[in-house]
Amino acid sequence: MIVTCSQMQQIEAAAFARGVSAADLMEAAGRGIAGVVRQFFPKPGLLVLFLGKGNNAGDALVAGRELQRLGWRLVARLTCEPGQMKTLPEEHWFALGSDVEPCPAVPEFQGPVVLLDGLLGIGATGPLTGVMRGLAAEMNDLRRTRHASTVAMDIPSGLNGDTGEPCADAVEADITATVGQVKAGLLADQALDHVGRLALVPLPELQPGGEACGREIISPALLRPLLPCRRFGMHKGQAGRVAVIAGSRGYLGAAVLSSLGALRGGAGLITLFAKPGAYDLLAMKLPPEIMVRPVAEYTEALEGFDVLAMGPGLGFAHEDEVLAILRQATQPVVVDADALTILARHDLGEMPGPRLLTPHPGEMARLIANQPGWSALDRATLAETFVQAHPGTTLLYKGSRSVIATAHLPSRFNTTGHPGMATGGIGDVLTGLCAALVAQGMSPHDAASLGSWLVGRSAELCLAGGWRSPEALSSGDLAEMLGAAFNELRAGCW
């Protein structure tokens, strides 16, 4: 569920009333947070614990204890003397003893430096002041000047947990490991640069009663049951036939990347449709597993395929054919890039089959250009408003926190990815990947959810072990890492 801070406090109170101890919850939360740090920073380094007086400090100390056992060096920046902490964090501090070093400043260190934000929890309100503000500003400065990585626990200090409004010097986290349930403010548009990558640490003791709200985050727990499981006797025809309609002279790479996305997403048969002017060039560029078919009319793809993926690098020379496909195809169509721009120039109307639209913000602005007031909506509300107005359409509104919306289904927020994905071609890979997932039997809503998570996790894996950096990541790298992302989902990661 996505909850307010008050609802989260009620969930915790109900757990305590059932006999769950605060000490046990702190142990579970701290171990989960340590697991998040291990996933993103597999090589031990320097862990800097930024500790307030409250129980968030206790969670941080438990996480620090677990990571210290794996070879991490612990230092601490304190807002008060340890004896002024609440009872549980004070006990954890003295239990660590000499394993944690209080320090007046973060020392120089060769290797990963991770800042663990344990200053404030969801009970804090109002602006940061005094030493709290100073330490939050210090974290932000270390992140910018020394390229340390910040992991916020539950919620970044200084961020309003309900509205997502940051106060002055609010912590800018690379990763937020939120405990139990996702707090509503973490998903607000204005919170994005403070929350970073969102990881949910689930605790069975903190499961709410009642009905879930109409939105949810995309997590491995949600996705694993959706992932197609192949029968031993499955053959390529049962893995789906995908037609890719993409690419034109000068934009051939988009067709290659979309086809690679479909290939690495598990489609059984992939055919790229090419006009005569681009056919010879594309036939030389594509992997041998992908068929390239020269066509006079793109509408030839209307027969014999389970899913169509259309738009990347397509250009506008054949607008009538693109519109004909959108208005005639009874099978699902994944619509991206130039096909979205063409669609925006015309009335969407009623279409005979499911349509998965994958706009980035610029394309979304073109799609809603004739809808006064829609541009002022937040991303999630805009996506929901759009699909309500266009039945049969699923919207994957791309961004650093992609939103998936379909009428009468819970909207979903993606959690994976990093700023290295700010490079061309990743949306093309996503288009082919989503088409492959739909071809294997997933609904557009579920395919968009799984595809978004996989693309983001693939980008994260490209950085693991120093194989790539955010600056050096390419969309081709990401496509080649999709298999590892599938495997991580099955194995269970954050």
Are 264 and 286 part of one and the same domain?
Answer: yes
User: Is 126 within a domain?
Assistant: yes
CA distances from residue 381 to 93, 215, 317, 480 in whole angstroms, order as listed: 44, 11, 34, 34
Kindly report the number of other CB atoms within 10 A of residue 132's CB atom. 20
Total domains, the chain = 2
Give the integer Cα–Cα distance in Å for 250 and 303.
28
Residues 182 and 237 in one domain: no
pLDDT of residue 348: 78
Q: Of 213, 233, 262, which one is at a domain's C-terminal end?
A: 213
Please answer whether residues 325 and 302 qualify as being in contact, where contact means their C-beta atoms are separated by less than 8 angstroms: yes
Give the pair of three-digit tokens for residue 325.
Answer: 């496909």
Based on the domain organization, do 195 and 257 belong to the same domain?
A: no
Domain that holds residue 77: 2-213
Q: Taking the model in full, what pTM does it have?
A: 0.96
Nearest one of 111, 180, 121 to 148, comparing CA atoms: 111
> Do 296 and 324 meet the contact criterion of CB atoms below 8 Å apart?
no
Which residue from 340, 322, 315, 334 is spatially nearest to 430, judged by alpha carbons?
A: 334
Cα gap 311→304, rounded to integer Å: 19
Question: Are 204 and 331 members of one domain?
Answer: no
How far apart CA 269 and CA 260 sit, in angstroms, is 12
Chain centroid to CA 354: 24
- Domain endpoint, select from 159, 178, 213: 213
- Residue 147 sits in the same domain as residue 251: no
**CA–CA distance, 189 with 70 (Å, rounded to integer):** 36
Which residues are paired to 77 by β-bridges?
50
Pair (295, 172) in one structural domain: no
* Tokens matching residue 244: 């890719």
Contact 396/404 with Cβ under 8 angstroms?
Answer: yes
In a domain, 219, yes or no: no
Asked whether residue 135 falls in the same domain as residue 258, the answer is: no
| Lookup: tokens for 106 | 């973060």
Q: Which of 180, 213, 246 is the last residue of a domain?
A: 213
Of 16, 19, 480, 29, which Cα lies nearest the Cα of 261? 480
Strands 197-201, 215-217: pairing is unpaired
Pairing of strands 291-294, 269-274: parallel
CATH of the domain at 58: 3.40.50.10260
Residue 333 within any structural domain of the chain: yes
Give pLDDT, residue 313.
97
* Distance of alpha carbon 242 from alpha carbon 261, whole angstroms: 11
Residues 261 and 151 in one domain: no
* Same-domain check for residues 451 and 349: yes
Query: Is 357 within 8 Å of 344 (Cβ atoms)?
Result: no
Domain for residue 220, yes or no?
Answer: no
CA–CA separation, 404 and 192 (whole Å):
17
Together in a domain, 243 and 137: no
- The pLDDT assigned to 350 comes to 83
Write the pLDDT tens digit of every residue in 155-210: 999 999 999 999 999 999 999 999 999 999 999 999 999 999 999 999 999 987 65
Decide if 421 is inside a domain.
Answer: yes
Q: How many secondary structure helices (H) and strands (E) does the chain include?
A: 17, 19
Q: Is residue 218 part of a domain?
A: no
How distant, in Å, are the alpha carbons of 151, 327, 338, 360 from that of 366?
A: 36, 19, 11, 10
Assess if residue 441 is contained within a domain. yes
Q: State the CATH number of the domain containing residue 418.
A: 3.40.1190.20
- Does residue 152 lie in a domain region? yes
Q: Which of 432, 463, 462, 430 is nearest to 449 (CA)?
A: 430
Extended strands (E) in 336-431:
355-357, 393-397, 403-406, 411-413
pLDDT computed for residue 211 by the predictor: 53
Work out the number of other CB atoms within 10 angstroms of the CB of residue 451: 32
Dist. CA 84–CA 79, nearest whole Å: 10
Are residues 181 and 259 located together in one domain of the fold?
no
Same domain, 289 and 188: no
For residue 290, the SS3 value is coil
CA dist., res. 226 & res. 240, Å (int): 17
Tens digit of pLDDT at every position of the chain (494 positions): 899 999 999 999 999 999 999 999 999 999 999 999 999 999 999 999 999 999 999 999 999 999 999 999 999 999 999 999 999 999 999 999 999 999 999 999 999 999 999 999 998 889 999 999 999 999 999 999 999 999 999 999 999 999 999 999 999 999 999 999 999 999 999 999 999 999 999 999 998 765 556 899 999 999 999 998 999 999 999 999 999 999 999 999 999 999 999 999 999 999 999 999 899 999 999 999 999 999 999 999 999 999 999 999 999 999 999 999 999 999 999 999 999 999 999 987 888 999 999 999 999 999 999 999 999 999 999 999 999 999 999 999 999 999 999 999 999 999 999 999 999 999 999 999 999 999 999 999 999 999 999 999 999 999 987 889 999 999 999 999 999 999 999 998 98
